Every structure is written in C-alpha cells, then in structure tokens.
C-alpha cells in the first residue's frame, strides 16, 4: 500500500498562527466530513471505509491532543471511542458491516463533539502539529513500530 501524502508539512506548521484557530473553511470542511461520516455509519445502508476513516481520524487527533497535554479527555470516553472504531473496523474486515454498537456511537459522538469544540479554539499551529504527530504515529503503527499501549490499527 502506498503511503499517503501528509496533510501538512513542517513549513505549514511553522507558518501557522500560534494564537488564532485554523482557517474557518478548513475547520468547516473537516467537521462536515467528520459528522457526515458518523451519520453514515449510524444510518447508511452501506457506510464506506472513508466514513469510518474520517471518524477515526478525528478520534486519533483527539488522542494526540490529550497526549500532547493540550486538552483533557472531557467526556472520559476517548478510549471507548478508539476501541469502538477498532471493533467496527474488525467487523468490516470480517464481512459483517461497518457499524458501531450503541455505546460505541455514544462514545464516538462525545469525542467528535469535543473535537469540534477544540478545533474552534486551539491555535492553528497546535492543530497542524497534532495532525503531523498523529499521521507519523499511524505510519509507525502500520510499519510495525507501534507502542504497547496502541489499539490495533485497522487499515481499511
């Protein structure tokens, strides 16, 4: 599998505002994709891997923000959301459909709500650093260099 191009470069990070949130059009686009992904997983007859991926991306970004000590897990459901998405991915790879159970939906929804609030308030430079850190961590996990505490990554 070809390694995807990183979302942001080091130069993007360095040039980003250290006091203002990321541009509104970028926030709106990301949050719209995230909410559409969750809605599809909840209600679409055939949610796609991309629906799962945008939700997983947002949850992974929240995990990085917590690890970076930028925020706290306000909902207390971050690990539950990570686990729920991993289980949904496993079900999908087993041919059982890409779905979350009810507790998984609640956990993912709570974390996505927290992420939506964070991306509106945290400086752009921090959000871009978080993206870069998260993408690096996912690449390391997929290359077999994960941490003992990592949840198994599903590559859909």
Average pLDDT, the chain: 89
Q: Which two tokens stand for residue 27?
A: 């926030």
* pLDDT at residue 129, rounded to an integer: 96
**Residue 74 and residue 114 in contact, taking contact as beta carbons nearer than 8 Å:** yes
Query: How many CA atoms are closer than 13 Å to the CA of 83, on its beta-carbon side?
Result: 10
Q: What is the mean pLDDT of residues 45-73?
A: 93
How large is the angle between the packed helices 49-67 and 102-121, nearest 10 degrees?
60
3-state SS, one letter per residue, for the chain: CCCCCCCCCHHHHHHCCCCCCCCHHHHHHHHHHHHHHHHHHHHCCCCCHHHHHHHHHHHHHHHHHHHCCCCCCCCCCHHHHHHHHHHHHHHHHCCCCCCCCHHHHHHHHHHHHHHHHHHHHCCHHHHHHHHHHHHHHHHHHHCCCCCCCCCCCCCC
Domain boundaries, the chain: 20-142
pLDDT per residue as tens digits for the range 72-99: 887 889 999 999 999 998 888 888 888 9
* pLDDT at residue 155, rounded to an integer: 55
Instruction: Show the CA angle centred on residue 105, arms to residues 136 and 50, nearest 5°.
Output: 45
pTM for this model (two decimals):
0.86
Q: Which two tokens stand for residue 156?
A: 């859909």
Is the pLDDT at 152 greater than 70? The verdict is: no
């Amino acid at each position: 599998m070809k390694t995807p191009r990183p979302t942001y470069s080091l130069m993007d990070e360095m040039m980003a505002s250290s006091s203002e949130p990321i541009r509104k059009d970028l926030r709106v686009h990301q949050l719209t994709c995230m909410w559409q992904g969750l809605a599809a997983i909840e209600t679409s007859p055939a949610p796609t891997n991309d629906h799962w991926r945008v939700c997983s991306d947002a949850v992974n970004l929240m995990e990085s923000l917590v690890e970076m000590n930028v925020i706290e897990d306000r909902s207390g459901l971050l690990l539950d959301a990570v686990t729920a998405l991993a289980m949904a991915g496993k079900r999908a790879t087993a041919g059982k459909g890409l779905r979350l159970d009810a507790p998984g939906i609640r956990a993912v929804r709570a974390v996505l709500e927290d992420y939506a609030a964070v991306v509106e308030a945290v400086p752009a430079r921090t959000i871009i650093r978080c993206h870069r850190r998260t993408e690096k961590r996912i690449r390391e996990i997929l290359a077999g260099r994960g941490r003992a505490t990592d949840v198994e990554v599903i590559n859909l």
